[in-house]
């Protein structure tokens, strides 16, 4: 969503999402390798992802946790923004399903 300036929903399919974004090729390869491993496993969620993927997720969590702290400074503004985001996502789903 960041690469689309939060203007549109990303694809819900992981492989379609990867095709539509620009990320480091080694990270893309690590994610695709993980998808292949997960396809062979009986149950999702077993074991740890590769270190490169863990690092990417950790960095994203840190970046966006700082963003969420900013929202707590203006709870009313945050509620309004959440309402608008909810409305946007519902409209996107309805538009795409019609």
Q: pTM of whole model > 0.75?
A: no
CA pair distance 41, 19, nearest whole angstrom: 24
pLDDT of residue 9: 67
Q: What average pLDDT does the structure give for the chain? A: 80
Average pLDDT value for residue range 11-34: 85
Domain that holds residue 61: 2-97
| pLDDT higher at 26 or 78 | 26
Residue in this structure with the two tokens 């399903």, named with its chain if needed: 97
Return the number of other C-beta atoms located less than 10 Å from residue 30's C-beta: 20
Helix (H) or strand (E) holding 64: helix 51-72
What letters, b where the CB count within 10 A reaches 16 and e where it falls short, cover 40-65? Answer: eeeeeeeeebbebeeebeeeeeeeee
Residue 48: pLDDT above 80?
Answer: no
Domain total for the chain?
1
């Amino acid at each position: 969503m960041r690469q689309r300036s939060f203007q549109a929903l990303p694809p819900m399919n992981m492989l379609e999402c990867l095709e539509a974004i620009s990320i480091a090729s080694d990270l893309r390869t690590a994610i695709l390798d993980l998808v292949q491993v997960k396809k062979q496993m009986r149950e999702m969620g077993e074991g740890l992802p590769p270190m490169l993927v863990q690092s990417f997720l950790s960095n994203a969590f840190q970046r966006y946790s700082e963003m969420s702290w900013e929202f707590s400074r203006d709870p009313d503004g945050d509620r309004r923004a959440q309402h608008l985001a909810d409305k946007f996502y519902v409209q996107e789903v309805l538009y795409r399903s019609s």
